[in-house]
Amino acid sequence: MNKRIAILFNCWIVISLLLAALAPVVLAAPRAQDAVTCAEEYTVQADDWLSKISEKLLGDVLAYPAIAAATNQKHAADATFAEITNPDVIEVGWKLCVPGAEEAQALLDSTAAAMAPLEPADLNVFAAASLTEAFNEMGQTFSAEHPGVTLTFNFAGSQQLAQQLGQAAPADVFASANKTQMQVAIDAGRIISGTQKTFVRNRLVVIYPGDNPAGLTQLQDLAKPGLKLILAAKEVPVGQYSLDFLGKAITDTAFSPTYMDDVLKNVVSYEENVRSVLTKVSLGEGDAGIVYTSDIIGEGADKVGRLDIPDSLNTLATYPIAVVSDSVAPTQAQAFVDYVLSPAGQAVLEKYGFIPAAAK
């Protein structure tokens, strides 16, 4: 263990010096979604530093990166734990996660692997259309941090992507907007069952053109005769989620028992992905549509109005991600998945209106 740690220590000194000169970067464990167990929860005292705590509780002054990694991993799910951006700077009162000896070694190994430069590779990432802006930004950051690794994104409806995977389309990573299409990829032998991770969540919202031609003021208005409604096809995750919302509504006394049927009579177009719904409504080709809240963040915000769907009727969309089993660059693909799952990746997704995977 000491030999591995000595090598890691030299790397860590370089990283620490860089962090002192540059903007802080969260030192997260590579897999933010894997559960870490704290052998002890430690509160930082006066005159503490990580290496001192490591020597006291792990018996090795050089094992402190494991405490930093474990603490950041816990922080992703529980904000009461500290977020360590610089291992040389900790504050009195911070709550740290000290892993057991075996888990500490595993964290040291994975952290050392994360520090090692990635070999050049071209990654083909299949991602749900709703992830377009967030993944484009993350792709630029990831490529900047790993020179030589380029990412090409294929954004489309999750059902289209799963179908392409089933037809042996070359890919390295698959990020779906629901578990159903991830299972399709698993059944096709392109994803190893159990390797997928939930990385983000989303909610539905009703949208209408900026001038609101139909005069929508409440969800019940979607059933008004003559209204032109645009939905995603039921095979598309957001399309099925929309049907789930309508199904819940007819059990609510605030809605007519025929509400779902009346609304579906108004559908003038079923689209292949959520971005097509947003585009058509923003152009005035429909009076209303149902999309994700993340779709109307940023540039889309000033083009449409919104009617929020209450939590009791809404669906919390769950997005899984996984490395494709026959990826030609599995190490680089896993590194990108790990970045998406990391606190830094989760922050980008939250910026674009998604709900971090660890949020309750």
CATH code where residue 166 lies: 3.40.190.10
**pLDDT of 3:** 43
Clarify whether residues 190 and 324 are in a common domain: yes
Residue 22 is assigned to a structural domain of this protein: yes
For the chain, strand residue ranges (E) read 40-43, 95-98, 121-128, 149-156, 173-175, 197-202, 204-209, 229-232, 267-271, 288-292, 304-308, 317-323, 355-356
Q: CA 232, CA 281: separation in Å to the nearest integer?
A: 12
**pLDDT of 139:** 96
Clarify whether residues 195 and 325 are in a common domain: yes
pTM of the model: 0.68
360 residues of the chain, pLDDT tens digit each:
444 444 444 444 444 433 333 333 334 444 444 568 999 999 999 989 898 999 999 999 888 999 998 998 888 888 899 988 778 788 999 999 999 998 899 888 776 766 678 899 999 999 999 999 999 999 999 999 999 999 999 999 999 999 999 999 999 999 999 999 999 999 999 999 888 999 999 999 999 999 999 999 999 999 999 999 999 999 999 999 999 999 999 999 999 999 999 999 999 999 999 999 999 999 999 999 999 999 998 766 788 999 999 999 999 999 999 999 999 999 999 999 999 998 889 999 999 999 988 765
Residue that finishes a domain, picked among 115, 131, 159 = 115
Quick one: angle between helices 132-145 and 343-351, nearest 10?
150
CA dist list (Å): 225 to 70, 230, 244: 57, 14, 21
**pLDDT of 19:** 38
* Residue 326 phi, psi dihedral angles, 5° rounding: -105, 30
Provide the domain limits for residue 187.
121-200+318-356
Residue 193 is assigned to a structural domain of this protein: yes
Residue 8 is assigned to a structural domain of this protein: yes
**pLDDT of 6:** 45
Residue 15 is assigned to a structural domain of this protein: yes
* Residue 120 phi, psi dihedral angles, 5° rounding: -55, 145
What's 125's DSSP letter? E
* Residue 290 phi, psi dihedral angles, 5° rounding: -125, 125
**pLDDT of 89:** 81
Clarify whether residues 210 and 245 are in a common domain: yes
**pLDDT of 359:** 65
Clarify whether residues 262 and 217 are in a common domain: yes
